[in-house]
Amino acid sequence: AEMGHKILIVGCDPKADSTRLILHAKAQDTILSLAANAGSVEDLELEDVMKIGYQDIRCVESGGPEPGVGCAGRGVITSINFLEENGAYQNIDYVSYDVLGDVVCGGFAMPIRENKAQEIYIVMSGEMMAMYAANNISKGILKYANSGGVRLGGLICNERQTDKELELAEAMAKKLGTQLIYFVPRDNVVQHAELRRMTVLEYAPESQQADHYRNLATKIHNNGGKG
């Protein structure tokens, strides 16, 4: 957004916490909860579900059912269909689908499956379960790559300060036939910003961590469309 691009973030996690720091809020109302209150998703308007946050970033949360009830992935399917029908994707440079890491059902894979996403970046760390999840997601991408026209853009390592983390991340990227796009160092400024319900770029724009996020955004921008 700092580069002048128009951004839409679609949170595809039942926790609905993808956009809260951009909106300076606890969590925005989700499409599913608003639809339940209104009667049906057809009764909603785009301005009901889309909020404008920091740097004019447009924010939407798909939401999900109560834990243990229904399919959380359905929220993603319903939300993307609603956004398409109501012109949410018009006049947008980048759409970011924030999908939870353990792809447990087909609904969460919808941005991959239905040709909604062109590139996928997996955020992982050097911890075993994070690498296991990244490997599983890569399998899912491979399954849909030929039919959906989507590709694995690369891995982003969010440092957890485990042993030989950078080497592990680079080795994993090589194994998956992709690249480590960026290694994001761990910094307490992230927690300080979160406590104030702000992103690092807003809370500490001059910090080294903010520059790391800018560099990451530039790398993704420059990597767009390259095999």
Which domain CATH number covers 169?
Answer: 3.40.50.300
79: number of CA atoms within 13 Å, CB side? Answer: 35
Asked if residue 170 and residue 62 are part of one domain, the reply reads: no
User: What tokens does 60 get?
Assistant: 């939407």
- The residue segments making up the domain with residue 17 are 1-117
Mean pLDDT of all residues in the chain?
Answer: 88
Q: Are residues 7 and 112 in the same domain?
A: yes
pLDDT at 108: 64
**Residue 72: which of 84, 64, 60, 81 has the closest Cα?**
64
pLDDT score of 146: 65
Residues 149/125, Cβ–Cβ less than 8 Å: no
Is 144's pLDDT higher than 80? Answer: no
**pLDDT for 67 beyond 70:** no
Query: What backbone torsions phi and psi does residue 43 show, to the nearest 5 degrees?
Result: -85, 0
Tell me the C-alpha to C-alpha distance, in Å, between residue 150 and each of 76, 113, 191: 18, 8, 33
Same-domain status, 51 and 128: no
Say yes or no: 21 and 107 in one domain. yes
For residue range 30-52, what is the model confidence (pLDDT) as tens digits?
998 899 899 888 999 999 999 99
Are 184 and 217 contained in the same domain? yes
Q: Is the pLDDT of residue 226 over 60?
A: no
Domain boundary among 65, 93, 117: 117
Domain termination residue (choose one: 62, 93, 117): 117
Q: Which of 117, 139, 164 is the last residue of a domain?
A: 117
Smallest CA-to-CA distance from 93 within 2, 184, 187 is with 2
Q: What is the pLDDT of residue 49?
A: 95
Q: In what order do the strands lie in the sheet with 180-184?
A: 119-124, 151-158, 180-184
**Same domain for 53 and 133?**
no
CB 12 within 8 A of CB 97: yes
Mean pLDDT of 186-205: 97
Q: Do 112 and 139 share a domain, yes or no? A: no
Number of domains in the chain: 2
Question: Could you tell me if 204 and 160 lie in one domain?
Answer: yes
108 and 127 co-located in one domain: no
Instruction: Write down the pLDDT at residue 138.
Output: 87
* Cα–Cα distance for residue pair 10/95, rounded to 1 Å: 7
* Same-domain status, 112 and 127: no
pLDDT tens digits, 152-174: 899 999 999 999 999 999 999 99
Q: How many residues does the chain have?
A: 227
Split at pLDDT 50, 70, 90, the class of 22 is very high
Q: Among 40-49, 110-119, 159-168, 212-221, where is mean pLDDT lowest? A: 110-119
Question: Do 60 and 134 lie in a common domain?
Answer: no
Higher pLDDT, 164 or 106: 164
Q: Are residues 128 and 80 in the same domain?
A: no
At residue 68, does pLDDT exceed 80? no
Q: What percent of the chain has pLDDT over 90?
A: 63
Distance, CA of 227 to CA of 223 (rounded, Å): 9
